[in-house]
Chains A and B, each alone.
Chain A
């Protein structure tokens, strides 16, 4: 559906993209300044790559070698940006009808009425954009882009200027519109939960490169590299050496510890990079006696932070169990209600278990993973 292979020299890095996307919703995810918006701009024809080729739905938009560069007008894509960019001097209806060239007054009116109804904007057709709320403005921008019936919709951070509830609503609208209009969507976002919620697949970008393209679950739980792991919320990065394999586990020496990790197909003695997801480390309850847990460790909380919903604990393991040489070994995230139920504030010393699934093996060049993925 979308074949994008482009290079473009930018100020601080070179955009070098190679993406082949089937229909559906793909999220271009990465921090700001990673080149996501520029990629979209190149696809829309508003920026010109230095080299490469862009083919969308069988139509060649850009081909450096053949000297093809279709103007945006001929690409027939929907393009929606964060700050809506409605024409401030035109009414809602005139905004929506803007792209409807060569249609009769009746046809335009029919299209506009249909979209007003679908976007729940009926009754606002004569308003000016300045008289609308942010959510309404963004729905008008979507309606304006959809009026010309594009097959591909490019969305550049479309929800980030909106407040929480409005954003949630527009995300639901987008899921519905996708079905109704049978759209292929490329969504630029720096918000992981947004990408996870909406996308069929996530393309993780950093410094002009695509690091990984996978279904959301695979990106979060099986990152290919430390960069992807960091971008998807992993903390706790270590280097380990494979010491043994059992039927179900691979055992790794990390610092002073031996950890059980998911089974890997790698030679004993191989060095691997690993991350431990902070929300998959559990503190062990003190009020109930239980047998030893996998990868059980003991240590103390040296610092804690909370945003009201979650607590982040900085956990230093006891000598003999240390994973690193820094002031703490593990960052642990737990929900506020768990923190309260456990009574974490009552004590510094805790035992914890590092769940096997919490251990993500990164950067396995030439090493095959066994039975991972969806």
Chain B
């Protein structure tokens, strides 16, 4: 256990945190939209959102690679802008985000759907603006769902393997996350190190779960 490599853990946490933040900013509004509004194509949008849950991660990663790589206009534009995604840690963020996105949308959506819409209606008859009602009534009441979604999202982003490997590759010191590092260690028959890394991941994951549950229960009261 000489020279234990802390980089993969640090990278995984950074990728997961960034992905979770991205997902919070985009997934929560989308969840609210799906829960509270009827518009044409809502069901289609809902199904599309859940796609990453059913697609094999490598398939998902392949799509992302095609969409963001040099072959695509978007990929070329990103590279020209100095923000290449493929084989960078930012690529890992995108892969983890896409893989974990449905977990936030589904959970937060359930949270929003659990808020009695008549509470919002009564709030409107009391003269408050829709924005105020969202912040003061809807969001606090949907909070346990959003919190649970955040914990799930973070855990999923932290553990992603297939999609991340396809998009960001396996470059030690640059894009090698914990999951990929574990795979490498086992491939190289470094089982003692693999054991400690696996244990570390387990502790982090279980810890996250407990924190998520505890805060959700507090928020519910």
Residues of A within 8 A of B (CB): 44-46, 71-79, 81, 85, 87-89, 98-99, 101, 144-145, 148
Contacts and interface: CB of A to CB of B under 8 A. Distances in A.
Contact of A81 (B118, B124, B127): B118
Contact of B124 (A73, A87, A101): A73
B127 A46 contact: no
A88 B141 contact: yes
A73 B128 contact: yes
Contact of A73 (B129, B137, B141): B129
A44 B119 contact: no
Contacts of B126: 98-99, 144-145, 148
A76 B127 CA distance: 7
A75 B119 contact: no
A98 B132 CA distance: 10
A98 B123 contact: yes
Interface residues of B, number: 17
Contact of A79 (B122, B136, B137): B122
A85 B128 contact: no
A75 B125 contact: yes
A72 B116 contact: no
B125 A72 contact: yes
Contacts of A72: 121, 124-125
Given A45-B124, A45-B125, A46-B125, 11 more contacts: A72-B121, A72-B124, A73-B125, A76-B127, A98-B128, A99-B127, A99-B128, A101-B128, A145-B125, A148-B126, A148-B127
The list of the 3 closest CB pairs from A to B, nearest first, reads A99-B126, A72-B124, A79-B125
B216 to A, nearest CB: 14
B52 interface: no
Contacts of B123: 87, 98
A46 B121 contact: yes
A331 B20 CA distance: 71
Contacts of B116: 85
B128 A81 contact: no
B113 to A, nearest CB: 16
Name B's interface SS: helix
Interface of B: 116, 118-119, 121-129, 132, 136-137, 140-141
A99 B124 CA distance: 9
Contact of A87 (B121, B129, B132, B137): B137
B127 A87 contact: no
A79 B119 CA distance: 12
Interface centre among B123, B124, B126, B132 (most CB of A within 10 A): B126
Contacts of B119: 85, 87
A79 B136 CA distance: 19
Nearest to B143: A89
Contacts of B141: 88-89
Q: Which residue, B119, B127, B137, B141, has most C-beta atoms of chain A within 10 A?
A: B127
Contacts of B136: 98
B148 to A, nearest CB: 17
Nearest to B119: A85
A85 B141 CA distance: 13
A98 B125 CA distance: 11
A65 B77 CA distance: 52
A73 B127 contact: yes
